[in-house]
């Protein structure tokens, strides 16, 4: 990370030099709604998706909740009316969406999207991360012939075009927001990126490649690289690690790469078995969700999540995610933001 433009920086917080929001608080609230209205319509049209409702809570032990990297603690509580049975607040809807496509009878070429709200109590908060997660979760049924890199790339391009379209609409309404979105994503694998910058950390590599190409789809996340390390963690039972990736865009305000979406073609019976074995998690095959993938009951799908607050932050040229969502921050972070003109909601 370059020191250009910094007046204060800690592990938790980056303060752009002379930062001042381009919109007032009231304009910001109006713009957040406008972005959400415009983008979800553009996404629905681009990928042929229906809007559906989704759960905030699921039963503990159902196998439906996302385990993320497998170490994060879920928010749990008992339910009085169900004999004290425990429930969990979702961490994501990666598995629920695939089950929903099966239950609702969706066919290849059809899909769903929903507002996903989650609490990730173990996330480290900073400019980009909050313990409250809000995103558009989407999932689409595909054929076995579409389980390939070309189809994955076509889908990524469609999402990027929807983001760029939304930015143009926002700029027309708020001309002061003069940043642009690169509509032509650059595709590269995590191994190719490691080969390019073997002496850099994964995040340093991301910054270098996104600074050069502005919009990047970084592919094949989850498995170990030649160096023996992972670029980043992924649960073994939703994305196929050979057919997934992150959409990264250059953020001028933060002078850094900015993850907008994590997505991918989901596991089939072979990749599920292989990835569970690699992670020593074959015990998950006891759950209905995993059994239904193994026996072919669940449809083959592609899906992902697109951060709602992340997208608003990027398009509204904000320095902190707390400027576009209401959450909880440390007293130290709140005070530093106040001192430097960052108004948290």
Which of the residues are catalytic? 66, 120, 135, 246, 259, 262
Instruction: Determine whether 113 is exposed, middle or buried from the number of CB atoms within 10 Å of its CB (0-12, 13-18, 19+).
Output: buried
Residue 304 C-alpha from the chain's centroid:
7
CB of 247 within 8 A of CB of 159?
A: yes
Residue closest to 72 by CA, chosen among 119, 138, 32: 119
Tokens of 323: 């400027």
Q: How far is CA 88 from CA 56, 197, 336, in A?
A: 8, 40, 33
CA atoms within 13 A of residue 9's CA, in its CB half-sphere: 13
Rounded CA-CA distance 345/342 in Å is 10
Which DSSP letter does residue 84 get? T
Buried b (16+ CB within 10 A) or exposed e, 52-90: bebbeebeeeebbbbbbeeeeebeeeeeeeeeeeebbbb
How many other CB atoms sit within 10 Å of the CB of residue 187?
Answer: 16
- Bridge pairing between strands 49-51 and 111-119: parallel
Strands (E), the chain: 6-9, 14-16, 49-51, 57-59, 76-79, 85-89, 111-119, 132-141, 186-189, 215-219, 239-251, 256-266, 301-307
């Amino acid at each position: 990370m370059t020191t250009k433009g910094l007046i204060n920086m800690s592990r938790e917080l980056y303060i752009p030099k002379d930062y001042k929001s381009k919109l007032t608080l009231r304009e910001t609230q109006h713009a957040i709604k406008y972005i959400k209205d415009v983008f979800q319509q553009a996404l629905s049209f681009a990928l042929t998706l229906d809007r559906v409702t989704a759960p905030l809570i699921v039963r503990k032990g159902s196998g439906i909740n996302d385990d993320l990297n497998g170490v994060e603690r879920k928010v749990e509580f008992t339910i009085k009316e169900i004999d004290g049975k425990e429930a969990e607040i979702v961490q994501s809807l990666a598995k629920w969406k695939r089950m929903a496509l099966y239950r609702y009878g969706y066919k290849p070429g059809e899909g769903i999207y929903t507002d996903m709200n989650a609490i990730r109590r173990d996330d480290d908060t900073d400019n980009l991360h909050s313990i409250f997660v809000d995103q558009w979760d989407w999932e689409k049924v595909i054929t076995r012939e579409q389980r390939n890199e070309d189809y994955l790339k076509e889908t990524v391009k469609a999402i990027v075009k929807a983001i760029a379209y939304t930015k143009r609409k926002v700029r027309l309404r708020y001309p002061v927001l003069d940043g642009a979105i690169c509509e032509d994503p650059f595709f590269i694998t995590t191994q190719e990126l490691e080969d390019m910058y073997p002496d850099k950390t994964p995040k340093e590599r991301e910054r270098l490649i996104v600074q050069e190409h502005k919009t990047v789809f970084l592919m094949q996340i989850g498995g170990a690289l030649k160096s023996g390390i992972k670029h980043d963690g992924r649960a073994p039972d939703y994305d196929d690690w050979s057919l997934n990736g992150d959409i990264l865009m250059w953020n001028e305000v933060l002078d850094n790469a900015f993850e907008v979406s994590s997505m991918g073609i989901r596991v089939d019976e072979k990749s599920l078995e292989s990835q569970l074995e690699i992670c020593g998690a074959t015990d998950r095959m006891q759950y209905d969700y995993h059994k239904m993938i193994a026996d072919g009951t669940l449809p083959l799908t592609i899906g992902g999540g697109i951060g709602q607050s992340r997208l608003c932050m990027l398009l509204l040229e904000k320095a902190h995610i707390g400027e576009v969502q209401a959450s909880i921050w440390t007293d130290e972070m709140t005070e530093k933001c106040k001192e430097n003109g960052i108004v948290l909601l």
